[in-house]
């Protein structure tokens, strides 16, 4: 049985999932995404990745600034069977979630009830979790607290960065959403309540978190670098320039935290040190540490901000 579906999503993470649904015999009535935004220094207006992909498929796109009565009535008139939400970035009003139809489901990038909230991928990496996963849940008014239909796990290594993990989890989300649609079609969807006592929250990433604190230990600093790579990036100040670290490795060395220990961009932390492998100077392209050192002088013993 073909389902009438509304899709709600915004970032690159959601694109493979929308693509997989569009390849089925279901009817995508409309796509909701965040409004176009000004990006970078040129302040050029850019559509979201989901907006651009929907345009390629000639799907109707809607970008409400607020989810008001007008939007609720619009969805009711469309009369969908199912609304699929994937990193949309807006809170849906209780008035529509509490209605009998449609069914609202979410593809969430964690093993719920762990890491409910806005930044589950980054928080899992920063917390040095060994695994995470994707959950398919029914959306309720409480944040990411709805009953879960399906889950699948994925490993996190100490080298895994945000981009790599996000891409892997998006592909995992594709598999789970296809399984979900089959269960719903066959009327075999069985949602299981979450254990509230195990809930943790992945709060939104604040700009202040991206600056490196050399008083943290090396393992924690590398986890933060990986969690924010490639964007927004973890950074430190070197001679008045913001240096974003793309990749680093732990070194068994010691010194006063924030001190440059050698000519290889090894920097002391509260425990051990990190050696920068790849970096990006403000307004410059990404480069290796060796490339950076050819054109920039550093001093052993220099203290960093």
- The answer on 245 and 211 residing in a single domain is yes
Are residues 196 and 275 located together in one domain of the fold? no
For residue 297, with 0-12 CB atoms within 10 Å meaning exposed, 13-18 middle and 19 or more buried, which class applies?
exposed
Q: Quick check: 39 pLDDT over 80?
A: no
Q: Last residue of some domain: 202, 222, 246?
A: 202
CA distances from 169 to 155, 163, 245, 277 (A): 10, 10, 24, 26
Residue 300 within a domain: no
Residue 127 maps to a domain: yes
Average per-residue pLDDT in the chain?
95
pLDDT computed for residue 92 by the predictor: 95
The predicted model scores a pTM of 0.94
Residues 43 and 179 occupy one common structural domain: yes
Give the per-residue pLDDT at 305.
Answer: 67
- Indicate the pLDDT class of residue 76, thresholds 50, 70 and 90: very high
Q: 116 lies in a domain?
A: yes
CATH number at residue 237: 3.10.25.10
Q: What is the pLDDT of residue 41?
A: 61
Q: Which domain holds residue 237?
A: 207-295
Contact between residue 264 and residue 174 where contact means Cβ atoms under 8 Å apart: no
pLDDT of residue 101 exceeding 70: yes
Q: What is the DSSP letter of 259?
A: B
**Alpha carbon distance 136, 173 (integer Å):** 8
**Per-residue DSSP letters for 155-222?**
E--TT--HHHHHHHHHHHHHHHHHHHHHHHHTT----B---GGG--EEPPPPGGGGB--TTS-HHHHH
What's the pLDDT tens digit per position in 147-193? 999 999 999 999 999 999 999 999 999 999 999 999 999 999 999 99
Judgement on whether residues 169 and 288 belong to the same structural domain of the protein: no
């Amino acid at each position: 049985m073909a389902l009438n579906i509304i899709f709600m999503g915004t970032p690159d993470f959601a694109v493979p999932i929308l693509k997989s649904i569009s390849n089925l015999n279901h009817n995508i009535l409309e796509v909701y995404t965040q409004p176009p935004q000004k990006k970078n220094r040129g302040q050029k207006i850019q559509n979201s990745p989901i907006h651009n992909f929907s345009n390629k498929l000639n799907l109707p796109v809607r970008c409400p600034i607020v989810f008001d009565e007008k939007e609720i009535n619009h969805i009711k008139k469309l009369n969908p069977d199912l609304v699929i939400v994937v990193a949309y970035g807006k809170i849906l009003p209780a008035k529509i979630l509490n209605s009998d139809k449609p069914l609202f489901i979410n593809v969430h990038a964690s093993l719920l009830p762990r890491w409910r909230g806005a930044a589950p991928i980054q928080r899992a990496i920063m917390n040095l979790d060994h695994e995470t996963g994707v959950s398919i849940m029914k959306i309720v008014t409480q944040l990411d607290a709805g009953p879960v239909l399906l889950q699948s796990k994925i490993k996190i290594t100490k080298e895994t960065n945000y981009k790599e993990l996000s891409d892997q989890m998006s592909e995992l989300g594709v598999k789970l959403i296809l399984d979900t649609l089959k269960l719903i079609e066959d009327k075999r969807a069985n949602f299981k309540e979450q254990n509230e006592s195990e809930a943790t929250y992945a709060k939104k990433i604040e700009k202040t978190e991206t600056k490196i604190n050399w008083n943290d230990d090396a393992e924690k600093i590398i986890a933060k670098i990986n969690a924010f790579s490639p964007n927004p990036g973890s950074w430190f100040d070197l001679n008045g320039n913001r240096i974003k670290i793309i990749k680093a490795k732990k070194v068994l060395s010691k010194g006063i935290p924030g001190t440059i220990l050698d000519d290889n961009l090894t920097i002391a932390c509260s425990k051990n040190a990190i050696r920068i492998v790849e970096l990006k100077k403000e307004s410059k392209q990404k480069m290796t540490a060796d490339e950076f050192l050819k054109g920039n002088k550093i001093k052993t013993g220099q203290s960093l901000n």
